[in-house]
Amino acid sequence: METSSPMIRLNKAIADSGYCARRKADELIAKGAVTVNGAVITELGTKVNPETDHITVNGQPLQSPPKVYLLLHKPVGYVTSRKAGKSQKSFYELIPEKWRSVDPAGRLDQDSSGALIVSNDGDFIYKITHPRFHLPKVYEITLDRPLNPADIQQLKDGVRLMPENKLAKMTRVEPVNSHRPTYQVELITGFNRQIRRTLIELRYRVLGLHRVSFGPVRLEGLGAGDIRPLTETELSSLGASLLALPAPE
C-alpha cells in the first residue's frame, strides 16, 4: 500500500509539535531561528514533510507530537473545516487544545452529525480515506417521504453523479422506523455529499443525516459534541479491515 507525503507549512509543523503557536513560529522563522535539513529557513509559507525532514528550532531538534487517534461525535451546526465562515462554527471548537493538531478522516457537512475520526497521523488518515480502500460507513437518514421499492433498488444499483461521472451506490438500504421514513444505509464510496445528492436525483429531500459507524468504529455511547480516543481493539480492527478489503479493480 502506498503512503502519503504530508507536506504542510513549516509554522504548522512547529505548532503541531507543541513548541509554540503558529504566530510565534512565524516570528521564529523570520528571525532565522529555524532550520530544515541543515538550512536556515526565513521564508514564511515554506512547506515541509514533518515525517522525513529534520527541523530544528533555536538549535534543538523539533520533537514529533505523540500520535493520537480520536472519535468525535460531531453535532449538527459545525463544519468539518479548520476555517469557518462568520456565521459558522468549526468542529475544532469541540476538540481540546492539546489535540488541535488533528485532521479529520473525511467530512460531515454542517447539517449532518455523527462519527468523525480525527488524528494527527497523516499516514493513518490517508489509508482509511484513500479512494482505493474505502471502508464501509453506515448512516441513519430521515427523508421527507418513504422510499418506494424501485428507488431502493436504484440506490443499490447506483445513481450516476456529476461531475464525477461515476455510479454512487448504497450497499445496504433498510428501514429502521415504521412511524417515519428513516433508513439505515451503508456506503463504500465517498463522493462529496453523496447521500444528499443521490436522493435529490431521485426527488427526495434528506431531513436528517447521522453517521453511526466508520468501518468497525461505532458511535454508540458517545454524546453529541463528545470525543474519545480510539481503543486498541478499534485500531487493530481498522488495520485488519484495510488488509481484508479486496484488491481494487
pTM as predicted: 0.77
CA atoms within 13 A on the CB side of 233: 3
Supply the CATH number for residue 147's domain: 3.30.70.1560
Q: Which domain holds residue 78?
A: 69-132+217-244
- Which active-site residues does the annotation give? 109
Are residues 93 and 199 located together in one domain of the fold? no
Comparison of pLDDT for 249 and 66, the residue scoring more: 66
Please tell me the total number of residues recorded for the chain in this structure.
249
> Domain tally for the chain?
3
Are residues 190 and 142 located together in one domain of the fold? yes
Supply the CATH number for residue 45's domain: 3.10.290.10
pLDDT at 246: 52
Q: How confident is the model over 217-247, as pLDDT tens digits?
A: 999 999 999 999 999 999 998 887 666 555 4
- Which residues, other chains included, contact 168 with Cβ-Cβ below 8 Å and sequence gap of 6+? 158, 159, 160, 161, 189, 191, 194, 197, 198
Are residues 31 and 128 located together in one domain of the fold? no
Instruction: Enter the C-alpha cell of residue 74.
Output: 460531531
Strands 217-218 vs 206-214: parallel, antiparallel or unpaired: antiparallel
Instruction: Enter the C-alpha cell of residue 171.
Output: 450497499
Q: Residue 249 domain-assigned?
A: no
SS3 state at 202: coil
How many other β-carbons are positioned within 10 Å of the β-carbon of residue 131? 9
Q: Residue 2 domain-assigned?
A: no
Are residues 208 and 229 located together in one domain of the fold? no
Are residues 115 and 161 located together in one domain of the fold? no
> Cis ω on the peptide bond leading into residue 229 (within 30° of 0)?
no
SS3 state at 214: strand
Q: Residue 158 domain-assigned?
A: yes
Instruction: Enter the C-alpha cell of residue 23.
Output: 504566530
Q: Residue 1 domain-assigned?
A: no
Cβ 152 vs Cβ 173: under 8 Å: yes
47-51, 121-125, 127-131, 195-199: least confidently modelled range: 127-131
Q: Residue 152 domain-assigned?
A: yes
Q: How confident is the model over 33-69, as pLDDT tens digits?
A: 999 999 999 999 999 998 789 999 999 999 877 889 9
Q: Residue 31 domain-assigned?
A: yes
Query: Between the CA of residue 44 and those of 20, 26, 128, what are the distances in Å?
Result: 16, 7, 31
Comparison of pLDDT for 146 and 67, the residue scoring more: 146
Are residues 225 and 208 located together in one domain of the fold? no
Are residues 210 and 145 located together in one domain of the fold? yes
